[in-house]
Structure 1
Amino acid sequence: MTDAPDDDRTSFADLGLRPELLRALSGLGYEEPTPIQREAIVPLTEGRDLLGQAATGTGKTAAFALPVLERLAQVEKRGDAPFALVLVPTRELAVQVSEAVHRYGRELGARVLPIYGGQPIGRQLRVLERGVDVVVATPGRAVDHLGRGTLNLEDLQVVVLDEADEMLDMGFAEDLDTILAETPKQRQTVLFSATMPPRIDKLARQHLTEPARITINQERAEPGEAPRVRQVAYVVPRAHKPAALGRVLDVEAPTAAIVFCRTRDEVDQLTETLNGRGYRAESLHGGISQEQRDRVMARLRNGTADLLVATDVAARGLDVEQLTHVVNYNVPSAPESYVHRIGRVGRAGREGVAITLAEPREHGMLKTIERVTKQRITMEKVPTVADLRARRLELTRAALHESLLEDELEGFRVVVESLSDEFDVMEVALAAVKLAHEASGAAADEEEIPEVAHRSDRSRGGVAGSDGQRRERRVRPPTAGMTRLFVGAGRSSGIRPQDIVGAIAGEARLQGRDIGAIEITDRFSLVEVPESSAQHVITALRGATMKGRKVTVRRERDAQR
């Protein structure tokens, strides 16, 4: 078993990939392989079986897709039957992997087909009949096609089990055995899993032959550098958890978040509560249809929903690019579940936040998770009413500042002049700020959430202290090496994260992966860009439009002077 070497000099060309694949990677903006890719590509290209442990977001898809395509290109005459089969736990992951393989193998003419439940089977049958090179399938639909005789695996060369632990958790063990029994014994078998419980080891011993073993440890921050996923927990009495969640979400202001619950009923109740508090929340659990699920995911991806409240099973394999926060409404019952959940943020170099609401009796489980994952979960106190008011006033002040800078206020001068005959100008300004603050929906929740004493108040520095210290910590500095820019448009203008990324990528020629955390409020947005490119981005966006209007772009600190 090997850990990834710290070798920043390795390139994709060093891994022996053919020019067509190198050109595809360059066109997609890939500069150098990730640790899992550095370790896996060579043995897989050589045809070896492989057992890999790597979390979501480490680059697993390219780690197995590129060798599959490299080996496929060496086949002199392709038949109609698939060369490779990739098995994944969910339809969302099937689509994601299929799209990636198609992008990598475009120049090679690779024929790729995702097959999964909820999609009309007629199209799948027609494509399979015409011939396909790589099939990406969920186990249930693959078994369905095998039963129909429409999926021929006799000539299969490669089988990939991606996120194998999740497939076993979802009850696909028998389906996997059925599928693998239909494949040639001389096939290459690849198994990736985020965790390695005994049942995964058993699966590997049954179906892999002398595999290369690779473990990619989760990246740790350099000394003095903020961790990619900031992990925090709040100890909250059960009766106050909905209010505490709302308070934390108000302070964190996520672009998009998944809130994990244990049961369907809890998902439905919490979704209703959050919508009643003014959030745009959608529920996702096993009781909704595939059509409803597709609509929910579309709303989350296009920005018409901010929060997804889901059970673990319903959220398997979800990959939402703009996701910034994961919330455990309850402490997960197993460390493996915690690892899966937080792996959905902090991907592709972006910063993410994992939040856990723990009841007092669940505090011991948090300690167990820390011990098993070898990662620190910082205990914090639930924001107070004063914290929340300060945050909302901060947003109101920034919105007013932007309005003053836009210089489109002349039409309102007559109102101020007429009122100033009767009132002091400061009083007029205070009344205007009050109206703007209330119009933003910023009526503060007056309920104070009782503080629960826990041992970590004494043992961990940085969580206890004055209200002012807590507020200062939550207004986080930009990620190391990044600068936060102020964009004078927000939700009220229809601005979404993809609009900001598209404008910067299109006008300033930055790659999407270079753009950091994005926060969108009603009137303005904040976006992190590399410090070295900040002035270039500001200059490039001067005169550019977002959603049909010109916007002001400047360094955030300029807006706070």
Structure 2
Amino acid sequence: MTMNATGGEGTFAELGLRSELLDVLSALGYEEPTPIQREAIPPLVEGRDLLGQAATGTGKTAAFALPVLQRMLHSGGDAGPATLVLVPTRELAVQVSEAFHRYGRILGTRVLPIYGGAPIGRQLQALRRGVDVVVATPGRALDHIGRGTLDLEGLRTVVLDEADEMLDMGFADDIEAILAATPEDRQTVLFSATIPLRIDGIARRHLRDPVRIEMGHTAAEGRQTTPLVEQSAYLVARAHKPAALGRLLDIEAPTAAIIFCRTRDEVDQLTEAMNGRGHRAEALHGGMEQEQRDRVMSRLRAGTADLLIATDVAARGLDIEQLTHVVNYNVPSAPEAYVHRIGRVGRAGREGVALTLVEPREHRMLKAIERVTRQRIPVGRLPTLADLHTRRMELTRVALEECLLQDDLEHFRVLVESLTDEFDLMEVALAAVKLAHESSGAALDEEEIPEVAPRTVEKRRGQRETARDGERRARTPAGGMARLFFSLGRSAGIRPQDLVGAIAGESSLSGHDIGAIEIADRFSLVEVPQAAANEVIAALRRTTIKGRRPTVRRERDTRSGRTR
């Protein structure tokens, strides 16, 4: 059974969720389910197995978390976990655990993330007290199973999240071992951005008559977005998104822009942040009365507001004549939503600009949008402080030109003449320009926004090309990196993904933090950030790779005897 996630409009109430969960979603500001949620939640609530093709940013965490919590309401309070969620990295384990906690707090759901680099004593204490949901990296989950501290006897649901990434990181054997230790009558849910043969093989072996959901194979395929819309995307970490948005708006200077957010809370927080930066921003979401909505639209159409920050639901049907820019503060949950959003500019011959802020983990979803729209979305460089300074100086110059052309300056002549008795005329002009520039809010009191790289399988593979027998091995690590020596190599069956999986699973690093990997016959060399080298060495003393415990240390410089 295969479903294409193209479902129409709907509400969470129509998906059969309990009132407690609906209240939580309403309080969090979620107004409607994403396509993957519309298609996945009903069969998962019924207990069906599911194979879903969906990238980060589509709402898949809620797609499996809500049904898990729904079924848990009927399960009683056993000590052992009812649900095990396997994820590739420590970072994702934390994110998924936080999501379960948000949705399940009112139900008293006990959630425990298990990953390397965290004190195992706390994990053991929590497991002894009893948990409902365990979110774990495969290596650490298998470690607890081997210790007998993770009891899977009462397990009802297993979720494999980002399964293709787990396989790319070398966790295939661990996943097979974990699934073999779970009850045969469990519900199994597998989400993956792609469905290669290895994923299909796992699904055939471990899923029973699964519902299949494929995101992106939709009726919108082949639709072309209007050429009058100039599209671009910017990679930015979540913590820096408000600053990145503010900087882009300063550079673009839109006549009017609509900024799309996922939830009501995000709308309210971003509206406050943009107003704090000197913009005239108004919020629009489903939690507002019609009278409030009408006032907001009146301000926008009258030009007393230039930013409308809204959810998709609240913005439906709006046609704003002076709209010049559309901003996706998050990558939309489906390609169709992207097409619909950017179609709000470039109408009736008007040119428009569409900007999208992309978190590193959302890069796959951007690629899915490109496939569906059959258009490339260029990934641009965020403006630097120097760019911002240049743009603000240009705006100051334009404002001064307009003032000079208005010919109503005679009133200030006496003041200028009195100042020139004491100061040079150029110095007076410079001081006046400085005051005008600073009064526009143009003081540079910001920091540079750090660059980030997309978390794509292709990039990770490119970073970890194996140098056979060290033939192409550079003797100096990249700047800011330390090279670690591992006492295992090709003769032990070690592959780049095995080393990446061990490091990402046991330390605070994620896959994209790891640099070049070189595998020789009896040893391997891995570049990691200098500041994290000691943490990685300490974390890997307690783990095994391919069943063997490696010696891990900084590489020694054979010429000087020093470590790097």
Please report the TM-score for the alignment, with normalisation by the length of structure 2: 0.48
Please report the TM-score for the alignment, with normalisation by the length of structure 1: 0.49
Structure number with the bigger relative contact order (C-alpha 8 A, sep ≥ 6) is 2
Bigger-Rg structure (1/2): 2
